[in-house]
Structure 1
Amino acid sequence: MTFRNGLDSLLRPEDSVLVLIDHQPYQLANLNSHEPQMVVNNTAALAKAAKAFGVPTILTSVIAERGGLLFPQITDVFPDQQVIDRTFINTWEDRKVVDAVRATGRKQLVIAGLWTEVCVAMPTIHALGEGWDVTVITDASGGVSVEAHALAIQRMMAAGANMMTWLALAAEWQRDWARTEQAAELTEIIKQHAAGSGIAYLWEQQLLNTPVPVDAG
């Protein structure tokens, strides 16, 4: 059952499974909805967050011998994990991928990939039709144009998918800063990948560790 409101609608690391789809050189070369560097950064942050929270992550590519290998910023996070290479454009038609997702026992399916309008939209809509609770990470995805990305998001939302950014997802997985086990790792990820938020955190630490001047008068 998919919840849309209330506490049960929020994502939990113990119930989530992440699928990263086709973050490959060919797709990146024709990415025009976002700055390519930003998408690579955000996808690396998403992968690191998933690892920090123990969220199973499925890596998949399409015809890698022509489209290229997944970005090393992703595979370096999971150095021992085999990438599932497909011929299906729709990832959810590839039995190896679906079986790997189902084997996790999770029902909160999180997806990011290139391109949004093709390799993200198809499996998202397909999985929604099978009863999965699907969330798309929009800033770790991208399309061939701003229009293509935006229309794909509209289409997926109309089908019932949730939309989030990587930092919002990480915060939802964390939920409470009193959960110290992942807090340190998440803070490090924010410092490395969240730009303004990371710099603001470092500034805060600087101020907290700066002695207050003693009034000589």
Structure 2
Amino acid sequence: MIDHQPQMAFATKSHDMTLVRNNVAGLAKSAKTFNVPTVLSTVSADTFSGQIFPEIKEVFPDQKIIDRTSMNAWDDQNVVKAVENAGNKKLVVAGLWTEVCVVMPVLDALEDGYEVYVVTDASGGVTTEAHEMAMDRMIQAGATPITWMQYMLELQRDWANQETYDEVMSIAKEHGGAYGLGIEYAEDMFGAKEGK
């Protein structure tokens, strides 16, 4: 999760920032639920961009946040080392701004042999065109676009997976918009549980 910070949010115009914050929270909670190693990075947090979104800090309260000066997180050896230490060749990336702080490390990670997924609705650019052109560029280079909900549900895979079922339903109800409301409705009206 790259540069989800106030200064970056102020200029993000491709997506509604309330929705981005909701999606970032859903993404962070999903990663934690499934024990996905998560790297948090900011740029110039104390001198310019501000601290990481409170939604992320709440999910990962004790995690070290790697603060950088470079626009490209992949230029910071602390970030690369943290990714390497996770021991997985698949990366799921979200951040602000798509056209700088997301596209640069994604292209470098692809070049270094990683399989990269970009969470489009937990990212944003200074304009819709900037976000879309950055997404097009990453897709052409081999990245796969996904949404935060798609990410969570692909990790769940099977409603019979009781280990994460309740937490996934809780995240969906809190951050899943109409889908979450539908879950609430089914539970209230019919006592239904998806997949049960």
Bin of the TM-score, shorter chain as denominator length? over 0.9
Describe how 1:6-155 pairs up with structure 2 within 5 A.
Answer: 20-65=1-46, 66-155=48-137
Q: Which structure: larger Rg?
A: 1
Structure 2 unaligned runs (5+)? none
Q: Secondary structure at the match of 2:62?
A: coil
For 1:9, the equivalent position in structure 2 comes to none
Q: Secondary structure of the equivalent of 1:124? A: helix
Deviations 1:69-95 (A, max 9, x none): 001110110011111000111101100
> Would you tell me which structure has more helix in proportion to its own residues?
2
Percent of paired sites with the same residue: 49
Task: Give the count of matched residue pairs.
Answer: 191
SS, match of residue 102 in structure 1: helix
Distance 2:86 2:133 in 1: 31
Where do 1:151-166 residues align within 5 Å?
151-166=133-148
Q: State TM-score, norm by structure 2.
A: 0.96
Instruction: Give 1:3's aligned residue.
Output: none
Report the RMSD for the aligned CA atoms in angstroms.
0.9
Which secondary structure state, in structure 1, belongs to the residue aligned with residue 163 of structure 2? helix
After superposing on structure 2, the runs of 4+ consecutive aligned residues of structure 1 that deviate more than 6 Å are none
State TM-score, norm by structure 1.
0.87
Offset at 1:53? 0.3
Q: Which residue of 2 aligns with 1:6?
A: none
